[in-house]
Structure 1
Amino acid sequence: MGIPVTRITPRFNETDALGHINNAVMSVWFEVARTDALNYLRDGPRSEGRWLVASVTLDYLRETFYGSDVTINMSRVFAGNTSLTMECEMHQNNELVVKGKAVLVHVDMDSKAKLRVPDVMREKLATL
């Protein structure tokens, strides 16, 4: 069993003047899926540090519209020493519409020092 799929129901206000889901909304949806994945990997809502976004890239492959759910699955997640790289695929009507990649860094918010990716997350990733 892998990281659970995130399902998004597009809202009308997320469309642009052309009737597409606005490109900026996709970044928010990817954040929702990353949060779901982090919660799954760490068995709960928090770890000792926080995850800061170092980079995000999105490739828009097809138009996405209001009226049909979008599913987001983490196609690949791997750990570095202090970071996680998360790759996602977004599908609407069984078609790949967006591919994304994000790098998150694990940080102690008081000292601003980077923290090692927790062992519980590494262990869970090893089983996927």
Structure 2
Amino acid sequence: MNEAFDEKDDQDIGYECEIGIDVRLRDLDFMGHVNNAIYATFLEEAREAYFEEIIGVSLTDIGTVIASLTIDYVRPIESDAEVTVAVGVSKLGTSSLTMAYEIRADGEPAATARTVQVLVDRETGQSEPIPSEWRTRIDGAGD
């Protein structure tokens, strides 16, 4: 196993993929901030982009489940903010991968997050090993 996939400190994460997010009116709470639950949707959009751009697969074509989701909120996101989400893999297991995220508003951190995805066989629901091709693509993403 490549040492690069040991659990990393947030400051050491190489975010290999970054996307822009359009804040919609329905994303806002009664105070005019992005609702805290919407942050998970932002993470999902970034995860989809990572899988397509870095690994070369669509999440709709494979079986993955979220085993864990943690979000640490740093500051509110205002309705007119320019929002981006950066994502990278911080740990690669046999059948799971941990992804680290930073949600930014106007270039400043608004939240950090982690998800653990488990690759599963769609027919059996059982976990299955991450393909070696994925490992190669993930390992090369930071180059």
Structure 1 length normalisation: TM-score? Answer: 0.90
Asked if 1:45 corresponds to 2:33, the answer is no
Which contiguous aligned blocks of 4+ residues in structure 1 show a shift greater than 6 angstroms?
none
Aligned partner of 1:54: which letter? A
Q: Distance in 2 between matches of 1:110 and 1:29?
A: 28
Percent identity among equivalent residues?
A: 25
Q: Distance in 1 between matches of 2:88 and 2:48?
A: 15
Q: Distance in 2 between matches of 1:75 and 1:62?
A: 21
* RMSD of aligned alpha carbons: 1.9
**Range with greater deviation from structure 2 (77-86 or 99-108):** 77-86
Structure 2 match to 1:89: 102
Q: Distance in 2 between matches of 1:100 and 1:2?
A: 12
Alignment deviations for residues 44-86 of structure 1 (CA, whole Å, 9 cap, x no partner): 3259741100010000001101112211001443310000100
Structure 2 match to 1:61: 74
Q: Is the alpha carbon distance of 1:108 and 1:75 closer, same or farther for their aligned partners in structure 2, counting shifts above 3 Å?
A: closer
Aligned partner of 1:39: which letter? E
Asked if 1:124 corresponds to 2:137, the answer is yes
Aligned partner of 2:112: which letter? K
Contact 2:84 2:104 in 1 (8 A): yes
Q: Is the alpha carbon distance of 1:94 and 1:2 closer, same or farther for their aligned partners in structure 2, counting shifts above 3 Å?
A: closer
Q: How many residues align?
A: 128
Q: Distance in 1 between matches of 2:90 and 2:32?
A: 32
**Structure 2 residues not aligned, in runs of 5+:** 1-13
Structure 1 match to 2:42: 29
Q: Distance in 2 between matches of 1:124 and 1:2?
A: 14
Asked if 1:6 corresponds to 2:6, the answer is no
